[in-house]
Amino acid sequence: MSVLNDDMSDKPISFRFDAKKAAQAAYKLLTLSGSERNYMELIKLLYLSDREALLKLESQITGDRLVALPFGPVLSHVLDLIRNGPTNEEDAPWFEAVSPPFGYRVKALENCGEDELSGAECQIIDEVFARYGRKNWKELSRLTHELPEYVDPKGGCIPISPEQILKLEGKSQAVIERIRGEIASYEALDRELSAYQGQEFENPAQMVAA
């Protein structure tokens, strides 16, 4: 048992990006903003929402990779989606809910609902908007520069691990290891389900015979 814990403690906490939840969170923030806003402001608000969810719910809303850029911490994949467009079919929900950028702005498109978001996640988004939603991108940039996990990347890009945020905000190592263990359990279940579905697909005759 101790060997398993040692192995897990070496593995960084990493959540899986969820395009549906990211799209619904972005749509909610854009709607609260009057349907459109500067996309860097949107990314900052999503980062703050993910950060708050990590501290309160022990999980991010979007599951995106957190990185430090010269203009502050951001959500890596969301920034890529806005600037570069879709990279795979799984990104489709984002583009159904959020427009491509026009200048530095994006707008809400089709209402994608909130069914993928929990009540607690919706509340966090509302609270983040209430606190920070009236700030412009420069104010949000200054604010996120002051977060304890931010390190100036000197023109580059530095990953921000969820562990950093949890530790800097006073979460115990026991809590961090529990979160890591829960993620490992979910990943193992996903692998088992994928393997089972793959077997079903490879053996349709057996399914008919059954």
Residues 195 and 161 grouped into a single domain: no
Q: Would you say how long the chain is, in residues?
A: 210
State the total domains in the chain: 2
- Read off the pLDDT of each residue in 35-43 and give the average, rounded to a whole number: 98
Whether residues 48 and 149 fall in one domain: yes
113 and 93 share one domain: yes
Given this model, what pLDDT does residue 118 score?
98
Helix (H) or strand (E) holding 158: strand 158-160
Residues 187 and 165 in one domain: no
Amino acid at 63: G
Percentage of the residues of the chain whose pLDDT score is greater than 70:
86
pLDDT score of 210: 47
**195 or 159, higher pLDDT:** 159
Buried/exposed 101-134: b ≥16 CB within 10 Å, e otherwise: eeeeebbbbeebebebbeeebeebbeebbeebbe
Same domain, 42 and 141: yes
Could you tell me the pLDDT band of residue 182, with boundaries at 50, 70 and 90? confident
Residues 142 and 203 in one domain: no
Residues 199 and 142 in one domain: no
Q: pLDDT value at position 87?
A: 85
Q: 148 and 130, same structural domain?
A: yes
Looking at the fold, whether 159 and 189 belong to one and the same domain comes out as: no
pTM of the shown model: 0.87
pLDDT digits (tens, 9 = 90+) for 95-132: 999 999 999 999 999 999 999 999 999 999 999 999 99
The answer on 110 and 187 residing in a single domain is no
Check whether 3 has a pLDDT greater than 50: no
Domain that holds residue 202: 4-9+178-209
Tokens of 77: 């994949």
Residue whose C-alpha is closest to residue 52's, from 181, 174, 147, 134: 147
Q: Please tell me whether residues 143 and 197 are part of one structural domain.
A: no
- Three-state DSSP class for 110? coil
- Residues 108, 38 contacting (CB under 8 angstroms): no
| Residue 26 · residue 121 · CB < 8 Å | no
* DSSP 3-state of 35: coil
Name the DSSP class of 87: S
* 156: three-class secondary structure by DSSP: coil
Residues 157 and 182 in one domain: no
